[in-house]
Amino acid sequence: MYHDIMDLYGDKGNMLVLSKRCKDRGIPFELDTCGIGEEKDLSSYDLLFFGGGADKEQLSLIPDLLSRKENIAKAIDEKTFVLLICGGYQMFGKYYVAADGSKIECLGFYDYRTETGAEGSRCIGNIVIDAQLDDLHTKMVGFENHGGQTVGVDHPLGKVLYGCGNSFDAGWEGFYDGKVLGTYLHGPLLPKNPKIADFVITKALQKKDPGFQMSDLQPLDDTLENSAREALFKRFEIEGDK
């Protein structure tokens, strides 16, 4: 969604990873885009992806996004999985207060909301979280850079091991309720976290095949990705995934 303006820090790279991992397994993959003013039935997709953007970009798309609220709700009800990064994550909450103090009314699917950091302060740097996604327990690594401080998250994605998370000293990062995964982890997220990529693929496949499990995916060689993760764990003195 809004691929042309919501691509902060290369977020669309997440879709390239999903495409490659599906094609390596012979899983049909078709990438489509939805920009401002385009007519699309979002409930017809297995996965919706919404990346990050600055205040200017978020303000420009809000009218179009709000006009799709009913269709997005229908998609979620019909088991379309939703992956949200940074600005996309914020847009599914109640509201977002921009750096200039203006209050942006968002979709309001969830009770969390996002305020602006005091005096332009931002959460910036590498981040590691301990995440629980259904039966998958894993550590997620990424990069965060957000002035928005998200509070009121009832179902956080994971516990912060290194970095800030939803807000300064929050102790928790992101949101996950089985239907929607929202996070501030840029980088992009999925090249650094192959298990999360496979989790997202599994959730998307479950729309048409509810019995499909992550263990049903053909294993891929993630030696390089895992070596990079272990290097970060070592740097931050964090025990890696077992």
Residues annotated in a binding site for substrate: 122
DSSP strand pairing (95-97 vs 103-105): antiparallel
Distance CA 87, CA 19 (A): 23
Beta bridge partners of 103: 97
| Binding-site annotation: residue ranges | 122
Query: Which entry of 86, 106, 123, 164 is annotated as an active-site residue?
Result: 86
Cα of 115 vs its chain's centroid, Å: 19
CB 125 within 8 A of CB 165: no
CB 106 within 8 A of CB 96: yes
Query: Which entry of 22, 146, 164, 186 is annotated as an active-site residue?
Result: 186
Distance CA 98, CA 92 (A): 15
Distance CA 16, CA 20 (A): 6
CB 40 within 8 A of CB 75: no
Burial class (CB in 10 A: 0-12, 13-18, 19+), 185: buried
Note if 106 is an active site residue: no
Copy the structure tokens of residue 181. Answer: 């995964």
Note if 3 is an active site residue: no
Copy the structure tokens of residue 213. Answer: 């499990």
Catalytic (active-site) positions? 86, 186
